[in-house]
Amino acid sequence: MQYIGVVGAGQMGSGIAQVCAQYGYKVIIHDMSEEQLKRCVAGIEKNLIRQVEKGKLEENAIRPILGRIGCTRSLKEFQSCDIAIEAVTEKFMAKLETLQHLDDILKPEAIIASNTSSISITRLASNTRRPERFIGLHFMNPVPVMGLVEIIRGLGTSEETFSRARQLVESMDKEVAISADYPGFIVNRILIPMINEAICTLHEGVATAEDIDLAMRLGTNQPMGPLALADLIGLDTVLSIMEVLFDGFKDSKYRPCPLLTQMVAAGRLGRKSGQGFYSYP
């Protein structure tokens, strides 16, 4: 693989594109918004400068890395990509529309990967004409910092596709965790219900947001409290994953907390909206 397409210039897409470019791959990022593409590239440059300041990157590496990243508002520019990684919003229909467009545009031998954090890879793949060349690559947020990628095989994913995808991930110094195709996979099946329970703890008046996060940070040695982490992930994404878990398992323990539902309805999505469990001026 030499040429990687990334669909979605948000937090996850920009992180994936940055890491791919840092490890020598030519990358093209797609987004419908020209402004979002500009913010994406500016954010990548800012992250690279921060790495230089921390001594993790040579300053003369920044220009070549940025030079390997292109932007487009047309998926037709993905025709030469060896793999396309979808990183759009965590909604089935939004992903399906994107994936079907990619299926029409990509060369026959290209792989489609979804960065979904909860939705069935088999279900997504079955709506394309290449289920054998379809796979789940769930990068962790923030991508340049986190060392794990979950790889999820759909029912039709071929051994060759799995092998090529794993080689790609490992070429970027990421560890691989292999998950069966169940709702939430490994990380989010465990993590998101924990965050949901923290929200319920706040909703029931057990403790303040600050004390809940303090207790979990110092009591369980987590680097970030669950409510602050929810703000970072995006409360809309947390809710979407809880809904996938609830729908997939039909178990009441995965019922989204009413407070989470209310906050998303009110547009309080966390860092990206400026207001979640905490304020972000």
User: Is residue 31 annotated as involved in ligand binding?
Assistant: yes
Q: Enter the tokens of residue 67.
A: 């030079």
User: Is residue 179 annotated as involved in ligand binding?
Assistant: no
Write down the catalytic residue from 138, 196, 240, 243.
138
User: Is residue 100 annotated as involved in ligand binding?
Assistant: no
Write down the catalytic residue from 47, 118, 120, 188.
188
Using CA atoms, how far apart are residues 40 and 11, in angstroms rounded to an integer? 8
User: Is residue 117 annotated as involved in ligand binding?
Assistant: yes
Using CA atoms, how far apart are residues 60 and 256, in angstroms rounded to an integer? 47
User: Is residue 141 annotated as involved in ligand binding?
Assistant: yes
For residue 41, the tally of other CB atoms under 10 A from its CB is 19
Phi-psi region of 271 (alpha: psi -120 to 50; beta: other; left: phi over 0): alpha
Active site residue 150: yes
Are 25 and 1 spatial neighbours (Cβ–Cβ below 8 Å)? yes
User: Is residue 104 annotated as involved in ligand binding?
Assistant: no
Enclosing H/E stretch for 210: helix 209-220
User: Is residue 90 annotated as involved in ligand binding?
Assistant: yes
User: Is residue 26 annotated as involved in ligand binding?
Assistant: no
Are 218 and 279 spatial neighbours (Cβ–Cβ below 8 Å)? no
Write down the catalytic residue from 118, 150, 179, 196.
150
Write down the catalytic residue from 47, 114, 115, 117.
117
Are 147 and 172 spatial neighbours (Cβ–Cβ below 8 Å)? no
For residue 218, the tally of other CB atoms under 10 A from its CB is 10
Enclosing H/E stretch for 151: strand 148-153
End-to-end distance of the chain based on CA atoms, in angstroms?
41
User: Is residue 13 annotated as involved in ligand binding?
Assistant: yes
Active site residue 196: no
Using CA atoms, how far apart are residues 260 and 7, in angstroms rounded to an integer? 28
**Residue numbering of the annotated binding site for NAD(+):** 8-13, 31, 90, 95, 117, 141, 272
- So which residues are the catalytic ones? 117, 138, 150, 188
**Residue numbering of the annotated binding site:** 8-13, 31, 90, 95, 117, 141, 272
